[in-house]
Chain A
Amino acid sequence: MSIDDDKRPRRARSSAHELERYSGLFAARTGRMRSSVMRDLMAITERPEVISLAGGLPDTSMFDPELFRSLMGQIADESAPQALQYGPTEGLQAVKEAITGVMAAEGMVVAPDELIVTTGGQQAIDLVCKALIDPGDIVIAEAPTYPGAIPAFCSYQAELVQIEMDADGMVVEMLEQRLDQLAADGRRPKFIYTIPTFHNPAGVTMSLPRRRRLVDLARERELLVLEDNPYGLLRYDGDGLATLRSLETPTGSRDGGDFVIYAGTMSKILSPGIRIGWVVAPRPVLAKLNLGKQSADLCSSSLTQYFVAAYFAAGGWREYIDLMCDCYRQRRDAMLDALAEYLPPEASWTHPQGGLFLWVTLPDYIDTTDLLARALQENVAFVPGEAAFDDGRGHNAMRLNFSCSDEAQIREGVRRIGKIVGEQVALYSTLTGNRKGAPPRVPAPVEPSMAEVLSLPHRTSRGGRRSRGG
């Protein structure tokens, strides 16, 4: 008998032999499903005493519990049988209409039948991969890219090519060069994955000229672009920029785009717990995504779709976004102030105009995975930059989240990070300052414009990692 807290179910016995048998049964793609040293470190960021600047969470405590109660009560009173039932694969009509309203707020004109509701934005990425990727196909993404997209690409055995970014987002000129190189080898990427607005994790926004060029490029070369836009409405400064989707289909046009697939989500403007996102795609692509979704989960949760429908019908969703923007703006400012105060001059970081994240670049000799181990001793956590690359880059960068901690926590968290970064900078200086004949470390060449915001040297002279555990 067991009196453990968690009342574990009894598991089947498994031996090394049995595991070996399973090993032969696994699909080849599982070999590319990544796991990392970070997983073990991230597991201990959840201790209550840790100030976590690691997550990507919106602050759901701002949502009015009374409104939640009344919406759920309304569903119980008016639509209980339907809310507890399966729904259409493409999503409830009322939800699709609400989504067209959200997209209109960013200048996009979309008809409800041009989109399908997905189980979070993550499923949109997964479905696009499922529809387009054969093993070995190329997917292009930014460097760095959304850490949660990499496992999706890997699980379909895509080859990921990451294109450098600067303060204006993906360097589209470099993308063109890379496409030319690939074309010379007879290769053509299946799609280009991009987060043009308030990039996760880089915190930068693609400029309008680059957006136009990317859309033109997609049309010229007949390449699909997956525009992932979870944060577009969370803007704290400056004017909104046209999405790739709206550049492809000028306002008033109802023709639908040819090459832009657009993924959106309720996660950051309402709730990630309801797992409701959506995808808009050219009709032939949308039909395949719909088939893919049927096999994945038949339909997204009817219950939470009813919640979304009731929430949008009640009005006030714009005001809630305004409320979040006011709060997150202050938190971002608190983080920027704290970074300026506590990080040594060797560090640089991006200044996002919206979204949830900023990206800090440290000197090349600091490995942020190891730094995280040290940070956890000081009860503070972040996401090591390595998570945002599939090619070993990013080891000296980190992603910081400012949406889910209050200003005092942000300040204290950054102070602790600054302290340990300062220690490592000083130690490195001690280790190198006295050495005779040791050549100065020269970071890998980077574009001057990039160096200011996103110094991402290639991992050339860095040692590998070797396991001695088990």
Chain B
Amino acid sequence: MTRVAVLKGGRSYERQVSLASGARVEDALERLGHEVIGIDVGSDLLRRLRDAACELAFIALHGPGGEDGSVQQLLEVLQLPYTGSGVSACARCSDKILTKHALRDAGLPTPDWVAFSDSAFRELGAADTLDAIELRLDFPLVVKPASQGSALGIKFARTPDDVPAALVAAFSYGRNVVLERYVPGRDLAVSVLGRVGGGAEVLPIVEAIPQGQDFYDFASRYDIGRTLFECPAELDDVLTARVQQIALDAYELLGCDGFARVDMMVGDDDEPQILEINPIPGLTETSLLPQAADAAGIAFDELVARVVEVAQARATRTA
């Protein structure tokens, strides 16, 4: 039995999803016989962690603060072992610009993009380059905040007229935005799960199939019945292997640990393109990583146990 603090909630826009992930993890940890302290993360986090005198933190936070390395850094200072990826992997994955540069530098596929800060527009006249950007990326293009893990602020610009408003929306969430070539095709989520002895395995691929709309919205991934999820996705063996290998390469390249979810689009040409890597994927009842684990015969409790064990093994190695 271990005393585990489950960190959930927080101030990010994904607070509700995080609370749902956290509650589910707490239940699983209790069933596994651990002593569980649920902490809704706020300014008293440090005091509560000290009061709890726990041996491990299970981070079930999503979005800025929890997923960007901040909490991980704090826990390292406290020398408290925690689940999931470390500071540097979280920092890279939560910034889509850093992620995409790392992927491209390593030769892993990601849709072509251009990224700007708001000051580039305000102070450097970047708006003058929009025509050139549009020529390079073509329409429709996707405009998104660099730092959000969820669908918040993601807009599709179908014509040049749509671009300025899409940029204004994306800048609502942070100082940096990505303009990315849109990849039409199949929407795949590839979950990677760490092994206790080191290394990682790729779980069956989940395909998200929107029901009755062009694009499924933010809510649909959390509401049963709004999007159809197929797991394992119906892909031929060659493509399956390729997609899984790319996901594993990305996981390792970015230094992820414990678990992560790699989101990809596979175009009509069967070429996978990585959109982003979520270092702390959702763990709710409708989340994709638990679905993938389930398809691999790993029930939720077992999944949680595994993530905890990987964290403990890492702590032992680095102690």
Contact = CB atoms under 8 A, between A and B. Distances in A.
Interface in B201-234: 208, 213-227, 231
A470 B37 contact: no
Contacts of B150: 40, 467-469
A1 B29 CA distance: 10
B263 to A, nearest CB: 6
B107 interface: no
B217 A10 contact: no
A374 interface: yes
Contact of A461 (B131, B162, B295): B162
Contacts of B223: 35
Interface residues of A, number: 63
A465 interface: yes
Given A13-B300, A37-B218, A4 B37 contact: yes
A44 interface: yes
A61 interface: no
B68 interface: no
B84 interface: no
B212 to A, nearest CB: 9
A209 interface: no
B156 A466 contact: yes
A431 B130 contact: yes
Given A23-B225, A436-B131, A467-B216, A1 B15 contact: no
Interface in B272-319: 275-276, 278, 281-282, 285-288, 290-291, 294-295, 299-301
A441 B168 CA distance: 14
A371 to B, nearest CB: 6
Contacts of B168: 365-367, 370, 424, 427-428, 431
Secondary structure type dominating chain B contacts? mixed
A148 interface: no
B30 A466 contact: no
A464 B156 contact: yes
Contact of B30 (A5, A10, A22): A10
Contacts of A431: 121, 127, 130, 163-164, 167-168
A39 B16 contact: yes
B153 A370 contact: yes
Contacts of B288: 470
B152 interface: yes
A463 B157 contact: yes
Nearest to A467: B151
Given A13-B31, A431-B168, A40 B26 contact: no
A279 B168 CA distance: 45
B295 to A, nearest CB: 8
Contacts of A31: 225-226
Contact of B154 (A5, A13, A376, A466): A466
B195 interface: no
Interface in B106-153: 118, 121-122, 125, 127-128, 130-131, 140, 142-144, 149-153
B3 to A, nearest CB: 9
Interface in A418-470: 424, 427-428, 430-439, 441, 461-470
A38 B308 CA distance: 33
A345 B177 CA distance: 27
A8 interface: yes
B161 interface: yes
Secondary structure type dominating chain A contacts? loop
Nearest to A434: B127
Contact of A370 (B172, B221, B301): B172
A16 B285 contact: yes
B220 A427 contact: no
B130 A435 contact: yes
A15 B31 CA distance: 14
B270 interface: no
A16 B291 contact: yes
A37 B30 contact: no
Contacts of A364: 165
Contacts of B164: 365, 428, 431-432
A47 interface: yes
A314 B192 CA distance: 67
A461 B161 contact: yes
Contacts of A366: 165, 168
A427 B131 contact: no
A469 B162 contact: no
Which of B30, B130, B142, B169 gathers the greatest number of chain A CB atoms within 10 Å? B169
Contact of A462 (B62, B127, B162): B162
Contacts of A34: 219
A466 B216 CA distance: 6
B220 A374 contact: no
Interface string A1-19: 1111110101101111101
Nearest to A15: B294
A37 B152 contact: yes
Interface string B162-194: 111111111111000000000000000100000
Given A44-B11, A438-B161, A465-B215, A470 B294 contact: no
B152 A5 contact: no
16 contacts: A2-B26, A2-B38, A13-B28, A30-B225, A36-B219, A37-B217, A366-B165, A427-B118, A438-B161, A463-B140, A463-B155, A465-B218, A467-B150, A467-B151, A468-B275, A470-B189
Given A17-B294, A470-B221, 6 more contacts: A15-B299, A23-B225, A43-B16, A365-B165, A370-B172, A441-B165
Interface of A: 1-6, 8, 10-11, 13-17, 19, 22-23, 26, 30-31, 34-37, 39-41, 43-44, 47, 364-367, 370-371, 373-374, 376, 424, 427-428, 430-439, 441, 461-470
